[in-house]
Chains A and B, each alone.
Chain A
Amino acid sequence: MRLGTPAPATPAAELARLQWTTAIVAGATLPHWPTLPFWAPLLLGVAIAWRLAIAALEWPVPVRTLRLLLALAAFCAVLFSYRTINGVEAGSALLVVMIALKVLESKGHRDQLVLIMLSYFLLFASLLTPRGPFTAVYLLLLLWLTTVGLLQLSRRGPLLQLRSTGALAGRLLLQSLPLMLALFVLFPRLPGPLWAIQGTSTSATSGLGDTVNPGDITSLALSDEIAFRAQFLSTPPPARDLYWRGPSMTNFDGRTWSMSIGDRRNVAASVEYLGAPTEYRVMLETTGRNWAFALEMPKLAPDERTLRMGSDYQLRTFPGTPRGTRLDYRLASYTRFRALEPLGEAEREMFRRLPPESSPRTRELVQGWLADNPEPEQLIERGMDYLRSQPFFYTLTPLALREQPVDEFLFDTREGFCEHYASAFTVMMRVAGLPARIVTGYQGGELNGVGGYYIIRQSDAHAWTEVWLEGRGWVRVDPVSAVAPERVALGSWRSALAGERVPGSAFGRLQWVRRALLVWDAAATYWNEWVIGYGPQLQRALLDALGFDGAARAERWSKLLLLCVGATLAGSLLVTLQLAWRRRRRTPVDEAARELAAFTRRLAHLDVAPRAPTEGPAAYAARAESRLPHAAGEIRAIIAAYLRARYERDADLAALAELRTRVSAFRAARA
């Protein structure tokens, strides 16, 4: 009602409130800093400093026109930085700059409360993108801080001590937790968005790209970021078979390999699966792409609704699936297979195409092989032999390649990593007239013994060659296995490159650090699965387990909403009980009187007449002592403790505690 009544505040008190407000606002913007343009936190800092200077040093308040101009400029700057004001990141940036301007013009109680509210909203905005458990704890701390701010700034009187307010904020949040959990589990979730989400995220999407340019992938190979996790439901295949297939590269311009455009045909039917399937589950990190990774060669179930197999045997999500969602899928793959895609003459030509003037030295070399023996199998063997016999090195830090990358690599530098080898080998095969392409993906992975799953990191990225042979279809050839067999055999280049600067190697000898990292990763996985991934499917599974199975959606929802109401009421009851319990306790003074009453009741059993209303404690003690001379010392000590707890100025709880122990000891001794 009279919300706006300004409290008559001293400048010092006003400054304290202002400091609180600005600290809270600055804290709430922290999670956004990584995605904000550099000038946005700067603007906020300047606005806060200016506002504090207005309060403390009596600087002039900027005039209205200037504020409007600033707002317009900030709006345009956001629009310029993001090319839109839609989407989470641009929206958050806009929110931050508008908050900065609000800070500048804030005056009084109401503006400060509005800023607190906006801080809550900023925290919320930072949660629209999935966050790990560590970040969640950090955000919880910021939430606590904001709540302390709410408690402080909603006061009209002087601010309270940080300790008591901090404790109160913590208690309030703890009391809200049960309801949060109940609503989180029970509130009906929607399978899709309410309105279209703009894919305007400017964050670098990590992972494999849609081109391969030997030299690019160095940074990726060094990244410890997790690409996906895979949990095998049957026996895991050996490491050398762990080829996680991703996009294939067909077009080559002499430097860069890129994907062919468009789906050529449904190739799934052409695969001949051999041996027993390996079943597993993949938990994919967000990539911003529409492709998924699978162990070669996946066999999709007929009713598969998450993934489809496009051309080049590549798994993709169905059109319309929002990008940036965390995919979680189950698959069956056969590590023994024949990819018998029939290729027409035009298609064979496409897989043989090379830029006309490129790689003259390579052409010369391969022409020699062709003259010796034009058998396709023999040509592949010659290529591998060449890599084996010449001094090639596997390294993550190769020399730069200039005009003729393939020639320079094959004849001059002779050092590189998977992409160099795959690129060079594919070019050799194409020169030899065999249809060939590069397949990118991941190879190997690290077993997390704690969680029982494999972690596949960006540093496990790999590239290999596929050659098409008449009658055998696409055959995988991994030229790296010729140069650095450990890379493939062990499923990781970590051991192959013991001396190199590679992630995790610094911890190589510290087993407990590695173990802690694995535990942490397991926690992050459970977090992703049960918290981030809690959606309509999990909710439905949970309801089925609770016995609501088979209900129609409307019925399910009404039940869920009813449960939400029930949870709210139960939460209310819980809080009421807690509060009543806190209020039930009396002050130390009353407690002391109660202890004395218990003591006199005990003494009454020992034939000491109850204390008369007019009888002081000291007189009563004297009377009791004369009745019970053997207990005189104890009685005197109890009465002394009582007098301290009850009448001493600033009697603390220690005196009461002493009284309590003495009385209970006395009662126990004479029970």
Chain B
Amino acid sequence: MFAPARSLENWAASWARRRQGADAHSVVLKRRRIYILPTRFGTIFALMLLVMLLGSLNYGASLGFMLTFLLAGLGLVLMHHCHGNLLGAEIKLLGAHPAFAGERAEFRIALRNDTAAPRYEIELAHERHATSPVDAAPGAQETLRIAVPTERRGWVTLGRFAVVTRHPGGLFRAWTWVHMDARCLVYPRPAPPGRPLPESAGLGLGGKPDVGDADFAGLRPAAPGDPPQRIAWKAFARSDVLLLKQFAGGDREPCELDWDALPDLEPEARLAQLARWCLDAAADARTFGLKIPGAALPLGAGPQHLGACLEALALCETGER
């Protein structure tokens, strides 16, 4: 799109924002906020109608007039149908799963159709991207996903997006701008793997984890150095493959992931390394604790613990930002 058109669109959108105000997490599209303009195809169609009109006038062709006016009527009807395709639809924010910096944060937005008539070809447009269009049957709810690129850890907000349709016929584009207060947590981009986990056993952080709640978590191929008492001998008798029994929480010595243990790195790089370690520890099913400026998480394991640690890393105030 041309730069002037884009700035015009931005201006119109901000005008609409002032007019409409911010939206709740669920919006029913009313007449007041649905805008409609012909597409380029629609403009060509209108030009064709003009040529047809001139031709009919020139040849005094009654049937030519009829077709011209029927198509003009069709254009008008299509405009109303296009507008009606959005009118009364409900747009709901479902949420967004956290993402790592560099990935795309995916906001899930539901399109609900509570009317008896189906809605066709509705898409969401965000920045320069549009989702692929969905059809919503009567009473149906369809989920659309807006992927927002992320660069830095912290919160990423969705900002303005548009609900767009060109159905039916593609002559018109009806849209509405939605400004929902939606945000998605962005974890730090993990450092490349390589640096081994620190093997410092629980100094002043939370003591030994409770081995009693160690649950059998699965099998993995055994490697040299694994303790022989963990080898799954029964499985070996069946399949000739040495497998190691793994237990959540009780697998290995718990590790402490400490901000201060990485004095050689820049603050952001430290966070990246800590994120990498968190992921490694969770992948190894080890218990781990995290200590960073402003937050200290006790030893723990499992996806929730990992999520809490990554969130702490994402929101960490290093004093530099």
Contact = CB atoms under 8 A, between A and B. Distances in A.
Nearest to B164: A1
Contacts of B171: 154
B283 to A, nearest CB: 33
B128 to A, nearest CB: 8
B66 interface: yes
Contacts of B55: 124, 128
A587 B66 CA distance: 38
Interface of A: 1-3, 5, 7-8, 88, 113, 117, 120-121, 123-124, 127-131, 136, 139, 143, 147, 150-151, 154-157, 160, 168, 172-173, 175-180, 183-184, 187, 189-190, 192-195, 197, 325, 531-535, 568, 571-572, 575-576, 579-580, 582-587, 589-590
A127 B61 contact: yes
Interface in B6-51: 39-41, 44-45, 48, 51
Interface string B168-198: 1111010000000000000000000000000
B64 interface: yes
Interface string B228-240: 0000000000000
Contact of B62 (A124, A130, A568, A576): A130
Given A128-B59, A586-B114, A589-B139, A179 B76 contact: yes
A129 B115 CA distance: 45
Contacts of A532: 62-63
B116 A176 contact: no
B144 interface: no
B168 A183 contact: no
B56 to A, nearest CB: 8
Contacts of A584: 115
Contacts of A147: 74
Contacts of A150: 169-170
B76 A571 contact: yes
A625 B176 CA distance: 51
Interface residues of B, number: 60
21 contacts: A1-B5, A1-B39, A1-B40, A2-B1, A121-B48, A128-B59, A130-B62, A143-B67, A154-B167, A154-B171, A157-B134, A194-B57, A194-B58, A531-B66, A575-B80, A579-B80, A583-B87, A587-B114, A587-B116, A587-B138, A589-B139
Given A3-B41, A172-B78, A184-B65, A124 B1 contact: no
B63 A193 contact: no
Contacts of A192: 60
B168 A154 contact: yes
B94 interface: no
A583 B139 CA distance: 12
B84 interface: yes
Contacts of B170: 3, 113, 150, 154
Interface string B96-137: 000000000000000000111100110001000010111100
A195 B54 CA distance: 10
B31 to A, nearest CB: 10
A271 to B, nearest CB: 34
A580 B72 CA distance: 21
Nearest to A324: B59
A124 B48 CA distance: 10
A113 B114 CA distance: 32
Interface of B: 1, 5, 39-41, 44-45, 48, 51-52, 54-74, 76-78, 80-81, 84, 87-88, 114-117, 120-121, 125, 130, 132-135, 138-139, 166-171, 173
A128 B70 contact: no
Nearest to A577: B80
Contacts of B60: 189-190, 192-193, 325, 535
Contact of A127 (B40, B64, B73, B135): B64
B76 A568 contact: yes
Contacts of B114: 586-587, 590
Contacts, number: 182
A589 B140 CA distance: 12
A117 B45 contact: yes
Enumerate the 9 nearest inter-chain pairs by beta-carbon distance, A residue then B residue, closest first.
A176-B73, A154-B170, A179-B73, A587-B139, A585-B116, A127-B63, A183-B69, A579-B84, A180-B70
Nearest to A193: B58
A309 to B, nearest CB: 26
Nearest to B171: A154
A155 B167 contact: yes
Given A127-B67, A193-B58, A586-B114, A576 B80 contact: yes
A585 B121 contact: no
A172 B81 contact: yes
Given A2-B130, A154-B168, A587-B139, A123 B39 contact: no
Given A571-B73, A575-B76, A124 B64 contact: yes
Contacts of A575: 76-77, 80-81
B52 A124 contact: yes
A586 B115 contact: yes
Main secondary structure of the interface of B (DSSP, over half): helix
A173 B138 contact: no
A183 B62 contact: no
A28 to B, nearest CB: 12
Given A131-B63, A586-B116, A195 B71 contact: no
Contact of B166 (A154, A172, A177): A154
B64 A128 contact: yes
Contacts of A130: 61-63
Nearest to A127: B63
A156 B130 CA distance: 12
B48 A117 contact: yes
Contacts of B73: 175-180, 183, 571
Contacts of B71: 120, 176
Contacts of B88: 583
B5 to A, nearest CB: 8
A558 B107 CA distance: 54
A604 to B, nearest CB: 27
A575 B58 CA distance: 31
Contact of A184 (B66, B78, B133, B168): B66
A579 B48 contact: no
Nearest to A158: B135
A136 B63 contact: yes
B59 A197 contact: yes
Contacts of B168: 151, 154, 168, 172
A123 B67 CA distance: 8
Contacts of B66: 127, 180, 184, 531
Contacts of A123: 67
A56 to B, nearest CB: 25
A239 B26 CA distance: 82
B54, B55, B130, B171, most chain A CB atoms within 10 A: B55
Given A143-B70, A155-B167, A583 B115 contact: yes
A157 B84 contact: no
Given A156-B121, A194-B54, A587-B114, A5 B130 contact: yes
A84 to B, nearest CB: 16
Contacts of A589: 139
B1, B66, B134, most chain A CB atoms within 10 A: B66
Contacts of A572: 76, 80
A438 to B, nearest CB: 35
A3 B115 contact: no
A160 B169 CA distance: 13
